[in-house]
Amino acid sequence: MSDEKLSVEDIIYNRVKPILKWAGGKSQLLDDIIPMIPGKYNTYIEPFFGGGALFFAIKPKKAVIADSNPELINCYVQVSQNVEEVIDYLRSYENTSEMFYNVRNQDWTTLPSAEAAARTIYLNKTCFNGLYRVNRKGEFNCPFGRYKNPNICDADGLRAASSILANATILCEDYKQVLMKYARSGDFVFLDPPYVPISEYADFKRYTKEQFYEKDQRELAELVDTLRLNGVSMILTNSNAQLVKELYGKYPIKVIQTKRYISSKVDTRNGEDVIVSITPFSVPSTGNASAQITKYPPTRFMGSKRKLLDEIWAQAQRFEFNSAIDLFSGSGIVGYMLKSHGLRVTSNDYMHMSYTFSKAMIENNSIRLSEAEALELMVKKGKINHFVSKTFRNLYFTDEENDFIDIVRGNISRMTNPLKRAIAMSALIRACMKKRPRGLFTYVGLGKYDDGRKDLKLSFRQQFLDNVAVVNAAVFSNGKKNRAVCGDVFELRSKGDLVYIDPPYYSPFSDNEYVRRYHFVEGLARNWEGVEIQENTQTKKIKNYPTPFSTKDGAATAFDALFKKYAKCVLIVSYSSNSLPSQDEMVAIMSKYKQHVEVVPIDYTYSFGNQNGAVSHRNRVQEFLFVGYDDVHIRRK
């Protein structure tokens, strides 16, 4: 991070001039832009570099600069790496019409790189108004400028520029590639894209060689929103056009009167530029994390820890940690809670439906599914795969509802954006669960569980749309790169300072087969690929996934392996009093790897029971939090 805070006056007084004149250059806006730059930042990034007036003025110690113009980028690379050669070439040029047109007729790609850079500078200094203009063949075609004494070879200025460029990574790439590859939380990005034309806005004709249309301006605005959510500071300049106000009206905008030095019409040489200041999204603090957590859509997922979040966080915040892994995410609520507290979260589960929830609302920091896109997913397009209609007919939903599921899942499978696909599939899964009493698929029909709830009466169409809205509302950024994973916990390679473990509980009184209870929506999340439907069963369930937690000895061995794998982390384990291994056995296993092991008992009532017996529908147990840590983990006050 920049550790030297220069005053605005120092920067303005000591700034280096650009080595090229450039149409749309920002020299006349520097006095307004520089005070808006954040006091500290990690890397300076400018993906529409052009003349680079701001870069040369503030002289960042670490920078990424880029432009899509290969001739321009070659010039900066050569000035950075071979400035004396460039100077030698420049000294041979003369300010004559004859030499100008001879040099202009050269193909720069056939010249030595340093000579090509000198040619670019020479033409820029001697052509009309310093324009860079090419014809359809890509050939420079600006006329001779007829200046009396242009400074063709400013050796001192080139050497000063070379020393600044030496601190930069110089790229010839599209702006989107640059920003997605390099921009990270704590960086500062200056955006000076091709301007929206005031007079031509109505039909948005092409107005630069880059062909930056209205759709490109909108794509840039979407990327700006994403970068802001990811903790990036930005300043953007553009014309004072209606489209710019529409795209950036939510940010502070400063309007500046400017002169257009390249306009041939006197009455259009005065204009208005805007400077948009975009500060990064603030990570939710502990104080408002609770409000964010309430936005996570509730589920009737067996074993969901929504009621235990305060207890889990009360234990977690005792320790120093910046990242967390939720090994068995289930409903996803614990991982979402950790994300809401500003941690970098990895959310894992072996079930694909759980992974889908985490992909949509934990990994996803900014993408949402519009209502128009949701409506389009419900439209029949071409040939439909009637897998659900044929396989599950008369089991869970009506023929019409099964057809609806087939249409939507088919359209979802063709979506190209993985985050939008996760939102849509999460909404479809939730719609299916809400249309089932108790949200389960362990029985067919509605039977005795039909309690007349509103969810059962709503149409599938409305359920889907409602759940798209609910999932969209849960999307937010905590400024961290979070991750959703669907895999085996013993093969997971992600690292975290704290590991939360909420595995399937083994009990001699019940099974822990999540797949049996949610097989339909698990199959839906996987599009029934890679699963085995047990055709002999009444419910057409899929074969359960193998788990070491299905027996007492297997569970003990699995816990030992997990505690060993994450021995350097803070461990928080949720476990039930009626499960095995026992409390004493769990403490003994964890004590092999942690200096301190604490047991926090919590009275807890399951929303619906999973035990055999007369009180199975309202099963009160004691939930344990096993907390394992070392002295180094304790938060210092």
Question: C-alpha angle 417/179/62, rounded to 5°?
Answer: 155
Q: Give me the phi and psi of 210, to 5 degrees please.
A: -75, -10
Q: What is the pLDDT confidence band of residue 569, given thresholds at 50, 70 and 90?
A: very high
Predicted local distance difference test score (pLDDT) of residue 542: 82
Q: Give the integer Cα–Cα distance in Å for 414 and 381.
A: 11
Composition of the chain by helix, strand, coil, percent to 5: 40, 15, 45
Domains parsed from the chain with CATH numbers? 1-68+173-281 (3.40.50.150), 69-169 (1.10.1020.10), 286-366+480-511+549-637 (3.40.50.150), 369-474+513-546 (no CATH)
Average pLDDT over residues 344-359: 95
Q: What is the pLDDT of residues 57-100, one digit of tens each?
A: 999 999 999 999 999 999 999 999 999 999 999 999 999 999 98
Starting from the edge strand earliest in sequence, which strands make up the sheet with 270-278, in order?
A: 168-171, 63-66, 44-46, 188-191, 233-239, 270-278, 253-259
Q: Strand, helix or coil at 225?
A: helix
Neighbours of 344 (CB within 10 A): 21
Q: Name the percent of the chain lying above pLDDT 90.
A: 52
Under DSSP, the state recorded for 33 is H
pTM (global) more than 0.75: no
Residue 158 CB partners (closer than 8 Å, separation 6+): 19, 79, 83, 86, 87, 90
Note whether 498 and 325 are within 8 A (CB).
Answer: yes
Under DSSP, the state recorded for 44 is E
Residue 634 pLDDT exceeds 90: no
Predicted local distance difference test score (pLDDT) of residue 447: 61
Residue 13 pLDDT exceeds 50: no
Burial 137-166 (b: 16+ CB within 10 A, else e): eeebebebbeeeebebbbeeebebbbebbe
Dihedral of the CA atoms 489, 430, 576, 442 (nearest 10)? Answer: -100
Q: What is the pLDDT of residues 502-559, one digit of tens each?
A: 987 765 545 456 677 788 989 999 999 988 898 999 889 888 777 777 777 888 999 9
Note whether 191 and 224 are within 8 A (CB).
Answer: yes
Q: Length of the chain in residues, anyone?
A: 637
Q: Strand, helix or coil at 353?
A: helix
The residues facing 604 across adjacent strands are: 621
Burial 80-116 (b: 16+ CB within 10 A, else e): bbbbebbbebbeebebeeeebeebbeeebeeeebbbb
Structure token digits, residue 164: 């600044």
Q: What is the pLDDT confidence band of residue 24, given thresholds at 50, 70 and 90?
A: low
- The pairing of strands 233-239 and 270-278 is antiparallel
Predicted local distance difference test score (pLDDT) of residue 63: 97
Average pLDDT over residues 168-174: 95
Q: Give the integer Cα–Cα distance in Å for 278 and 289.
A: 23
Q: Give the integer Cα–Cα distance in Å for 627 and 218.
A: 48
| 79-93, 376-390, 576-590, 609-623: range with lowest mean pLDDT | 609-623
